[in-house]
Amino acid sequence: MYYHYPVLLKESVNGLNIKSSGIYVDATYGGGGHSREILGRLKDGKLFGIDCDEDAAKNIIKDSRLVFITGNFRFLKNYLRYYRINKVDGIIADLGVSSHFFDSIERGFSYKNNAVLDMRMNQKSGFMAKDLLNNYSAESLIRVFRNYGDLKNAPSLAKLIIEYRQERQFEKNGQLIKAISKLIPGKKENQYLARIFQSLRIEVNNEIENLKEFLLQTTDLVTKGGRLAVISYHSLEDRLVKNFFRWGNFNEGISRDLFGNYSTPFRAVNKRVITPDYKEIKYNSRAKSAKLRIAEKN
């Protein structure tokens, strides 16, 4: 089945510097595109594929070297410990929302369809976008729209949402668009709504905290000389990845001990961020905002 076109496929897998007998992790399995490329470079190595979306299991590659795990990559260390794996030679993570989510109308990820305000990547989670809109306080709504959408008029958005839900509960995307219609700029409607829906999706799926938990675990999991490749799609994610590769934390600074010494777990392999070329963007327009960073364990 069609699920998702892998972004920056060759560049990201090349960046892992695959060893034929190594152990690797595809932390965001999706349609299996990156996994298939990794398996093609392994001989007697092992690959673990992880995805929180149960639909991804329909794309499992029939290969004895692949172990597929349905779950969230924030629990990566626990999953690997179950298989008695303490160290791996490389990890890849594509943080983009799969095309499958946008194309599955019933999942509610796209503002272009009047679907239920769902937006859950893990369908077993009980918290949907409609729950957020119906129950968050004004302060919480402002935080979501400011932090995850960089929306300057977040207070006005929160006010309109609360006014609307006093009359009826949010259920579908069309209701949200109607509720905030007076704030939608005519010439930049698509960009504005994309940021609204991005904000809700990030909050519903706890994406930022999941990413932080995942990155921190890689410090212990990746063996010396091993690689970590991460593809991000918006500035908030990219900033976290960049700071983690540079400093080993998310605070844009080196943490020193009492004696003034410091060490960073990774070193950046690509000094400049890698982005898709014109041909890839023409083939897959959803790749245009992708940024690839690769780091090697010190």
Note the pLDDT of residue 100: 66
> Is there a contact between 145 and 192 (Cβ–Cβ < 8 Å)?
no
Note the pLDDT of residue 124: 85
Note the pLDDT of residue 261: 64
> Is there a contact between 13 and 38 (Cβ–Cβ < 8 Å)?
yes
For the chain, where do the domains classified as CATH 1.10.150.170 start and end?
A: 126-204
Note the pLDDT of residue 285: 82
Stretches in the chain below the pLDDT threshold 50: 1-2
How far are the Cα atoms of 97, 116, 290 from residue 172, in angstroms, in the given order? 20, 4, 29
Q: Report the alpha-carbon distance of residue 95 to residue 90 in Å, rounded.
A: 16
List pLDDT tens digits, range 177-201: 999 999 999 889 999 999 999 999 9
Provide CATH code, domain 126-204.
Answer: 1.10.150.170
First CA to last CA distance, the chain: 40
Structure tokens at 79: 């999953």
Note the pLDDT of residue 186: 84
Closest CA to 215 of 269, 150, 289, 295: 295
Q: Within a 10 A sphere around the Cβ of 167, how many other Cβ atoms?
A: 7
> Is there a contact between 61 and 32 (Cβ–Cβ < 8 Å)?
yes
Note the pLDDT of residue 187: 85
Place of tokens 């690839």: 292
Look at residue 236 and give its three-state secondary structure. Answer: helix
For the chain, where do the domains classified as CATH 3.40.50.150 start and end?
A: 9-99+207-297
Note the pLDDT of residue 2: 46
Q: Which fold has domain 9-99+207-297?
A: Rossmann fold (3.40.50)
